[in-house]
Amino acid sequence: MALPGLPIAPSGDDDVLSRIDPKLCVACKGSRMLCGIDPCPLLARIRHQLPQVAKSGVVGRDLSGSSPPALFVGRHGYPKVTVGPMLPPDRRDEAGARRLDDPRSWMGLAIPDVVGLRSSLVRTTHSVRIHEPRPPGDIFSNDRILRASQELALSARPVDTEVRLERAPRFGQVAVGEFTPPHGPTAALERAMLAENVRVERPLERAANDTDLRAGEAIGSLYDAGVDHYQLEKVLSAGLLGLGAKRKLVPTRWSITATDDQVGQHLIEEVRDFPSVDQPTVQFAERFGNRFFVLTLPGPWSFESIEAWLKGNFWSRDAAEIVAADHEDWRGRKAYAATAGGYYATRLSVLEHLVALRRQATVIVHREITEGYTTPLGVWVVRETTKAALAAKPLPFDDIPAALRHIERHALLKTWQSHSNLLPLLRSRRTLDSFSSPRPLDP
């Protein structure tokens, strides 16, 4: 549960946690309050166990720093939410500022390194309504703090930002969660301003000014235009996409999954028209105590994500393995996945890979979350580790049983196949090939 070398001291949180079924924790991941306790007692406990991150020098109420650029929209109190820029208490060069909010650059780090890197990023808060009024003909809010946050969301590069806080931030403990990356102290704002003009990419400028374009269509067109996926999350969160009358702020946690889902649906339309891959392959990657096996099979587009939370990881604690699975066939998926944001993040990485190959396939991703996952870092871990697996050299197999046997030999959960919903459907599928050369799917 704690980072290596950190003792776990008994606390009131431990007493509470002992009465909560770990299955609830795995299903909730601190976001749905399934246990009825807010804030999450497990997240509250881990904050006290993380190493104290010291900040050199005295930091007062006035901060001048380089925002990566980044903003955060909270969800508590919805439809009244908090919003504000995220910035360190100092100015940095462009590369240093970008790294504060660039998950791709964190993949070679250890968990304490990611936590330490993000610990200097102050989350500022200012209370607004999700439908904050805008001046006629303006895409930005009347509210000055919200306006500065919205301008940050559109920026193509880091922006020097100046804020005045209600009180000096207290650096030390870090806020962590399963959906968003860790961040440093949270502090309420009195005012905020950008100390320089922002540079906006032309496609983003056009989409933000097009108040007749639906948000889903805007996300698809911006993705095709090469706008970075992580910036799409911010722009959606800042309420800068969609039909003019319906634009609203979207809590950061929700915008992450919504962007993954919208881009994924956009790519599915393209993938369905490609020819199938011609043989089974297996690819693998492991990061931050998460192990990903990607099984790619010939056939029409279909997808399954299996998550096995093994004993000793952050959310399942000391319970035996807890397994959940979600899938879709070529028609897509309507109901929200039980595996939540991880499903859509994994699916997006798979679809991007298939688009690059110009192939469609049936893909099953088996994820094992081990005791090495000591601290939740955000759903980016799922998205980027799936990409890492798909970037690895694929192992080809003559048939599906051989590919399944390979995964079973290397997986920690030997019974993973029994949790799949897609494999039984594949076993019952009858194709021309199966009649001409029958071959059992079971090893």
pLDDT score of 57: 57
Measured CA to CA, the distance from residue 32 to residue 65 in angstroms comes to 33
pLDDT at 434: 45
Q: What distance in Å separates the CA atoms of residue 313 and residue 326, rounded to the nearest whole number?
A: 21
Structure confidence at residue 50 (pLDDT)? 62
For residue 333, the model assigns a pLDDT of 87
- DSSP 8-state class, residue 413: -
Tokens of 255: 């915008």
Residue 437 has pLDDT above 70, yes or no: no
Pairing of strands 302-309, 362-369: parallel
298 and 279 Cβ atoms separated by less than 8 Å: yes
Alpha helix positions (H), 111-187: 111-118, 144-154
250-261 pLDDT tens trace:
999 999 999 999
Tell me how many degrees the CA angle 227-229-235 measures, rounded to the nearest 5: 75
* 133 vs 1: which has the higher pLDDT: 133
The answer, yes or no, to whether residue 4 has pLDDT greater than 80, is no
pTM, 2 dp = 0.90
Per DSSP, the residues of 55-117 read: --S---SEEEEEE-S-EEE--TTTTEEEEEEEE-SS---HHHHHHTT-GGGGTTS-HHHHHHH
C-alpha torsion angle, residues 101, 102, 108, 109 (rounded to 10): 0
pLDDT in tens, 41-79: 877 776 655 655 555 555 789 999 999 999 999 998 999
Average of pLDDT values for 354-371? 97
Please give the structure tokens belonging to residue 320: 């035996």
Q: What is the pLDDT of residue 48?
A: 58
Tens digit of each residue's pLDDT (9 = 90 or more) over 7-41: 333 345 567 777 788 888 888 877 777 888 877 88
Residues 6+ apart with CB under 8 A from 51: 3, 6, 112, 115, 116
**pLDDT for 145-183, tens place per residue?**
999 999 999 999 999 999 999 999 988 778 888 889 999
Share of the chain above pLDDT 70, in %: 91
Dihedral sign (CA 353, 355, 358, 359) = positive
- Cα-based distances in Å from 107 to 86, 162, 210: 21, 30, 36
Lowest mean pLDDT among 43-52, 244-253, 321-330, 366-375: 43-52
| Rounded Cα gap, residues 322 and 314, in angstroms | 12
Q: How far apart, in whole angstroms, are the C-alpha atoms of residue 270 and residue 391?
A: 21
Determine the average pLDDT of the residues in 407-428.
Answer: 93
pLDDT at 171: 84
